Structure 1
Amino acid sequence: MFAVGKKYHFETSTVINAPIEKIYPHMSSMKAFNQWNPWLEMDPGLQLDYSGTSGEVGDKYCWNGNKESGQGCHEITALVPNQKQSTKMVFVKPFESDATSDLILSPEGNQTKVTWTMDCELDYPMNLMKLMMDSQMEKSYGSGLKKLKSIVEQEK
């Protein structure tokens, strides 16, 4: 028998053909982030409520949607200009949970590597799902990063 711990970490990245300064504005506020947030596409009728000051720590949105998207809030907890955005997500429905997430920018020559991470703790029996979560997370986070790449690279 093997043990499955509670901690879950996921990360994926992409390289965007643009300098950091062109990418950071797309992640420095919740409204900008939601232009490429993959989960907003799950529910066209999703209700969003923004609060806090856009582009500052405390910038937040709460959502209320269908069975798949559920309900919760997503808040910026730290911003390091042209380097990093950190957030906390609190899920209310379909189950109560919370997670932290980082978007990290790293220069790679004339390009920028964008790394998106998520960390959470999962109690039993949800922790058993960790074994299958990576592929679903890659699908979601990967599609978000692909959309971000497309938006940034099409800008003049």
Structure 2
Amino acid sequence: WKSENPDVGHGEQEILAIKEMERIDYELRFIEPFESTDKAYLAYEPLGPNQTEVTWGFEGRMSYPMNVMIPLMNIENMLAEDFQTGLSNLKKIMEK
């Protein structure tokens, strides 16, 4: 999967492991606006017959000056549309 979101930058994602109905581990490789390779995951927990909680996690390190700039950039809002699209697609797949 490759991203061309102008608000976030350019990069790609590779699935590293899937534990069915529990977790997906993947690697994020950002190319622009800065190069970075980090690990992330999606974890799933059934809450009821038609309800599942999805948790997104991210592991990464950034050196100065990016470690100072990232909190000021409001990354969550920048990625919100991509996350919502991903969750909507996941919902469609899970409901099949």
So what's the TM-score if we normalise by structure 1? Answer: 0.47
Aligned partners of 1:124, 1:113: CA distance in 2, in Å? 35
Q: Report what 2:40 is aligned to.
A: 101
State the alpha-carbon separation in 2 of the partners of residues 144 and 66 from structure 1. Answer: 12
Q: Partner amino acid for 1:95?
A: F
Contact 1:116 1:141 in 2 (8 A): no
| Alignment of 1:77 onto 2:29 | no
Structure 1: segments with no counterpart, 5+ residues = 1-60
Closer/same/farther in 2, CA of residues 139 and 66 from structure 1, 3 Å limit: closer
Q: SS of 2:64's equivalent?
A: coil
Q: After TM superposition, give the deviation of residue 86 of structure 1 in Å.
A: 0.4
Higher relative contact order (CA 8 A, sep 6+): 1
Q: Which runs of 5+ in 2 are unaligned?
A: none
Deviation, structure 1 residue 100? 1.3
| Larger deviation, residues 143-152 vs 117-126 | 143-152
Runs of 4+ in 1 over 6 A off after TM superposition: none
Q: 2:4·2:11 contact (CA, 8 Å) conserved in 1? A: no
Counterpart check, 1:92 vs 2:31: yes
Identity of matched residues, % = 29
For 1:145 and 1:64, the matched residues in 2 are separated by: 12
Contact 2:8 2:78 (C-alpha < 8 Å) held by counterparts:
no
Structure possessing the higher radius of gyration over alpha carbons: 1
- TM-score w.r.t. structure 2 length? 0.70
Deviations 1:50-109 (A, max 9, x none): xxxxxxxxxxx4x37475464433111111011110000112222111121111110112
Cα separation, 2, equivalents of 1:71 and 1:87: 16
2:80 partner amino acid: K
Relative to its length, the structure with more strand (as a share) is 2
Do the aligned partners of 2:7 and 2:78 also contact (CA within 8 Å) in 1?
A: no
1:143 aligned residue: 84
